[in-house]
Chains A and B, each alone.
Chain A
Amino acid sequence: MIRLVRAEVFKLRTVWSTWLMLGITALLVIFVTGLTASVSPDRRAVTSFPARGSAAWLDIVFSGMTVAVYLAIVLGAVMITGEHRHKTITPTFLAEPRRGRTVAAKLVVALGGGLVVAVVAGFVALGVGLVLVGVGVAPLGAVLTEYRHVWPGVAAACVLYGAYGVGLGALLKNQVVTIVVALVAIAIVEPIIGLVAPAAARWLPGSAAQALESLAANARSHAAFGGSGGVHLVVWWVGALLLVGYGVVLAALGSLTTLRADVT
């Protein structure tokens, strides 16, 4: 099993698409956090928006790191759908004919991949935070405190979303379909369910991830990101269990269905 894990890490390292995804992560985090930070609250009609430089404001700025979870999903999804796409699934299964073990190894490596995405996002956001200190918007202490509140939750969500991507990819097999389904589910379907049936929505992956993201933020409102503001989130560890569950159940379903299919 350890060999399979090493092989999967090696596969990720040796294609540029992995590095591209990390690059996109960095750019997106700069874009979202930078944009949030530069929007002047004075010009906003929303009176409830926290004052520039306040703890709550920093919290919202750092929440921009949340975009990284999308890249974690894509990374996980590509790990398995890419093998179908490039037909490397044939040599992969020839080397390890017990297919479930390969998927298990991919799940494990995707957790790590999600962490790497989170680390990249974290570094970039920290950079933005230090710029805010530099230009005198907020004191260093406040920046670091809020950063510590937000990052662990985002990291946990990225880690688990990586595995979720593998699971979904194992089930759906097609790369484009998997990525589109994952993104549409989180960005469109879940918010709609959140509006019509908030009680059910809290059990869905997106809300579970949001619960995780509020892990260290101690129930501070995260309504500023994600569309399911009306959903009463579960506690963070239930969210974690839910996300692990989604990843494992999807991967298991995939192993029993799509993955058993003939490779021709």
Chain B
Amino acid sequence: MASIEVQGLTKRFGDVLAVDDLSFTAHEGTVTGFLGPNGAGKTTTLRIVLGLVRPSSGRALVNGRPYDELPDAMRVVGAVLESSGFHPARTARDHLRSIAMVDGIPVRRVDEVLETVGLAADARRRVGGYSMGMRQRLELARALLGDPEVLILDEPANGLDPQGIAWLRGFLRWYASLGRVVLISSHLLAEAAQTVDEVIVVNHGRMAGAGSLTELRARQGGSVRVRALDPDRLAGLLADAGFAVRRQGEEVVEATGTTAESVGRLMAEHGVVVLEMTTEGESLEELFFEMTAGRAPDGLVRAGPNGAAGAKAEVGTA
């Protein structure tokens, strides 16, 4: 059974507690999203899993073994990392060949992965002249060299163009469907949501939430706004049904913690005339901020895209 297991992992860099008693498992056949704001400890955790960083305590296992005890590691685990490097004077193909040799991976496979990531035409160019997105593709090609059953990717979408990102999504879904483990870190839940099945959210090195995407979606708060002929009666009905109700002006009733469907059924049952109905969902991103905001410094939350902190405040007062 292919898997990644992290057990009670803690890592200190001097005074900085980068990872704090973190435990989770990534299973085969699923894409697991590893999410958290900047400095949450994602990269550190992944590097520990890959044997590059030594944990202060706890352990990380791949297929039940520490990384450095895997025979022919590249054939078991492929990894894309942020600060991995290239010799600028070496061609992409030679870069991959030099690494492939270590586990006896044939040159044929090098050309294959270059083809897979769309670098075949540039394979014999020096990496020094590569664009950021091309380097990211080359990293992915390197990760795929050993056709590994476990794929670990630290923000793989970095620098990729929209087509590249779309392609990567499809690729990772396909890869997991082969019964492999895919663990992918990201800052953005909404972005990852299109790819992942399972989510692990970390914040300040600690677990801030975990579960399947379906579970998360169920936890998303939302509200339904109804303009009705008899708003008083509607408000009473909704309150009786156990929803939090708020009046907005003369005609509008807002119910939170419910869905348009249940509100609609309720109104049909009691013959309430509806003039207008709108739903307002909490976005996954807002949920993500809720999960991480508890511990994140304010600055981090405000730094989110699209004035996300404002959106969150709205949800809070709704």
From A15, A95, A98, A264, B99 is in contact (CB under 8 Å) with: A95
- For B95, list chain A residues within 8 Å (CB): 88
A95:B73 contact, CB within 8 angstroms:
yes
Q: In B82-110, which residues have CB < 8 Å from any A CB? A: 83-91, 94-95, 97-99, 101-104
From A4, A6, A88, A95, B87 is in contact (CB under 8 Å) with: A88
A4-B102, A263-B47, A264-B83 in contact; A97/B88 too (CB < 8 A)? no
B91:A14 contact, CB within 8 angstroms:
yes
Contact of B67 with A by CB under 8 A = yes
Cα distance, A93 to B86, chains bound together (Å): 13
Contact of B193 with A by CB under 8 A = no
Given contacts A94-B52, A95-B74, A264-B52, 11 further A-B pairs with CB under 8 A are A11-B98, A90-B85, A91-B99, A91-B142, A92-B99, A94-B73, A94-B74, A95-B73, A95-B103, A262-B54, A263-B47
A97-B68, A264-B47 in contact; A87/B102 too (CB < 8 A)? no
Name A residues whose Cβ lies closer than 8 Å to a Cβ of B.
Answer: 3-4, 6-7, 10-11, 14-17, 82, 86-98, 260, 262-264
From A17, A89, A95, B102 is in contact (CB under 8 Å) with: A95
- For A91, list chain B residues within 8 Å (CB): 84-85, 99, 142
A86:B85 contact, CB within 8 angstroms:
yes
Cα distance, A91 to B86, chains bound together (Å): 9
From A82, A90, A96, B52 is in contact (CB under 8 Å) with: A90
Name B residues whose Cβ lies closer than 8 Å to a Cβ of A.
Answer: 43-44, 47, 50-54, 67-68, 70, 73-74, 77, 79, 81, 83-91, 94-95, 97-99, 101-104, 142
A10:B101 contact, CB within 8 angstroms:
yes
- Chain A residue with the shortest CB-CB distance to B90: A14
From B52, B97, B99, A263 is in contact (CB under 8 Å) with: B52
A87:B52 contact, CB within 8 angstroms:
no
Closest 9 CB pairs of A and B: A87-B85, A97-B68, A7-B101, A95-B102, A90-B84, A262-B53, A263-B52, A14-B94, A97-B51
B43 to chain A, nearest CB (A): 8
Cα distance, A243 to B250, chains bound together (Å): 93
From A16, A92, A95, A264, B89 is in contact (CB under 8 Å) with: A16
B47:A97 contact, CB within 8 angstroms:
no
Can you list 10 residue pairs at the A/B interface with Cβ under 8 Å? A3-B104, A7-B101, A87-B84, A90-B81, A91-B85, A94-B50, A94-B52, A94-B73, A96-B73, A97-B73
B99:A7 contact, CB within 8 angstroms:
yes
- For A264, list chain B residues within 8 Å (CB): 43-44, 47, 52-53, 83
B28 to chain A, nearest CB (A): 21
